[in-house]
């Protein structure tokens, strides 16, 4: 297996975000591209990341390969990249990562055997969908994180509201001029997880938000070069 990334920054940034949720992953590579699906140890969040074959400068794989890797180790290596060409290939029991800049640097990371069932993004019945600017979404989450460990997503009257209540409160209200809203619903989610997910705003300027009353949340960041999906369990609590 040999991969040469057309846009290494996307892969590097997503691996960095994933490393805050899980410690090790299985990377699946086949003729269709690269895919990673992982669930955090608390079984609260799922992340799915896909790069299609068309987003690689070069992709050579005889048959599907599964690469088990420690994310902290891979993140440390990828952080050494600034500009140039990034390639990855499997060699015996290691993943060879090459960074070609003024000089050529090579790292070999030991592969690990991850015994687990193959995961998939769950099929969920969402009642509400919101499409909005990802930077506005990030701002709203950061505001909520100041005042509470959780925040509510509320869709009603063609408006989308993100608010948090505790000793203090924060609220961001978006009208149909700023967001596209379909359906009504209300659910509460952890701001700690949402802050991690919101780091994806650097990758694309749009985010798709799907949820329902006291139901899991799905966030989708995507472009022609990648698809990044997060699923987060709701926090069901008694309202004050």
- CATH number at 139 reads 3.70.10.10
User: Which pLDDT score is estimated for 238?
Assistant: 56
Check: CB of residue 217 under 8 Å from CB of residue 198.
no
The parent domain of residue 200 ranges over 128-232
Residue 172 has pLDDT above 70, yes or no: yes
Residue 205 confidence class, pLDDT cut points 50, 70, 90: very high
Contact status, residue 154 vs residue 212, Cβ threshold 8 Å: no
Mean pLDDT of 203-216: 97
Is residue 85 domain-shared with residue 141, that is, in the same domain? Answer: no
Q: What is the pLDDT of residues 114-150, one digit of tens each?
A: 887 888 999 999 999 999 999 999 999 999 999 999 9
> Are β-strands 226-232 and 217-223 bridged in parallel, bridged antiparallel, or unpaired?
antiparallel
Residue 139's Cβ-side half-sphere holds a number of Cα atoms within 13 Å equal to 11
> What integer pLDDT is reported at residue 99 of this predicted model?
97
What is the tally of helices (H) and strands (E) in the chain? 4, 18
Q: What is the spatial distance between Cα 61 and Cα 89, in angstroms, rounded to a whole number?
A: 10
Is residue 152 included in any domain, yes or no? Answer: yes
240 in a structural domain: no
Residue 116 within any structural domain of the chain: no
Provide the pairing of β-strand 2-5 with 180-182: unpaired
Q: Is residue 213 part of a domain?
A: yes
Q: Are residues 96 and 187 in the same domain?
A: no
**195 & 159 share domain:** yes
Same domain, yes or no: 88 and 173: no
Shared domain check, 106 and 39: yes
CA-to-CA distance for 212 and 126, rounded, in angstroms? 5
Indicate the burial class of 15 (C-beta count within 10 angstroms; 0-12, 13-18, 19 or more).
buried
SS3 at position 53: helix
- Which residues on adjacent β-strands are paired with residue 172? 162
Q: Is residue 68 part of a domain?
A: yes
What is the pLDDT, as a whole number, of residue 115? 82
Choose between 14 and 240: higher pLDDT.
14
Domain co-membership, 106 together with 132: no
106 and 33 in one domain? yes
pTM of the prediction? 0.95
- Specify the residue for token string 């180790």: 73
* In the block, residue with structure tokens 């600017």: 133
Is the domain of 141 the same as that of 218?
A: yes
- Total tally of structural domains belonging to the chain: 2
Examine the domain organization and report whether 139 and 103 are in the same domain.
Answer: no
Helices (H), ranges, the chain: 8-18, 71-78, 134-147, 191-198
Claim to verify: residue 156 and residue 100 sit in the same structural domain: no
- Please give the Cα distance from 160 to 179 (Å, whole number): 8
In a domain, 239, yes or no: no
Maximal C-alpha separation, the chain: 60
Mean pLDDT of 227-232: 98
Residue 81, pLDDT > 50, answer: yes
Is 93 found in the same domain as 22?
yes
Average pLDDT score over residue span 20-48: 97
DSSP readout, 150-211? EEEEEEETTEEEEEEESSSEEEEEE-TTT-EEES-EEEEEEHHHHHHHHGGGGT-SEEEEEE
Domain annotation covers residue 10:
yes
The verdict on 86 and 136 lying in the same domain is no
Cβ burial of 230 (10 Å; 0-12, 13-18, 19+) is buried
Is 70 exceeded by the pLDDT of residue 169? yes
How many other β-carbons are positioned within 10 Å of the β-carbon of residue 24?
16
- Check residue 148 and report its DSSP letter: -
- Residue 120 covered by a domain: no
């Amino acid at each position: 297996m040999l991969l040469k990334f057309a846009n290494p920054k996307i892969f590097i940034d997503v691996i960095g975000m994933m490393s805050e949720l899980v410690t090790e992953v299985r990377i699946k590579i086949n003729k269709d591209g690269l895919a990673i699906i992982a669930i955090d140890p608390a079984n609260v969040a799922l992340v799915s990341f896909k790069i299609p074959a068309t987003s690689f400068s070069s992709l050579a794989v005889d048959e599907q390969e599964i690469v088990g890797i420690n994310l902290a180790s891979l993140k440390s290596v990828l952080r050494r990249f600034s500009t140039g060409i990034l390639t990855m290939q499997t060699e015996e029991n290691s993943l060879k990562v090459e960074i070609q800049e003024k000089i050529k640097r090579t790292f070999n990371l030991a592969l690990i055997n991850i015994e687990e069932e193959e995961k998939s993004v769950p099929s969920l019945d969402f009642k509400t969908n919101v499409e909005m600017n990802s930077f506005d979404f990030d701002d709203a989450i950061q505001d909520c994180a100041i005042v509470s460990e959780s925040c509510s997503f509320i869709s009603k009257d063609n408006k989308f509201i993100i608010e948090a209540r505790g000793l203090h409160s924060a609220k961001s209200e978006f009208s149909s001029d700023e967001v596209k809203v379909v359906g009504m619903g209300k659910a509460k989610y952890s701001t700690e997880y949402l802050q991690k997910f919101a780091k994806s705003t650097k990758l694309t300027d749009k985010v798709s938000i799907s949820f329902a009353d006291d139901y899991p949340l799905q966030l989708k960041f995507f472009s022609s070069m990648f698809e990044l999906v997060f699923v987060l369990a709701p926090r069901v609590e008694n309202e004050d």
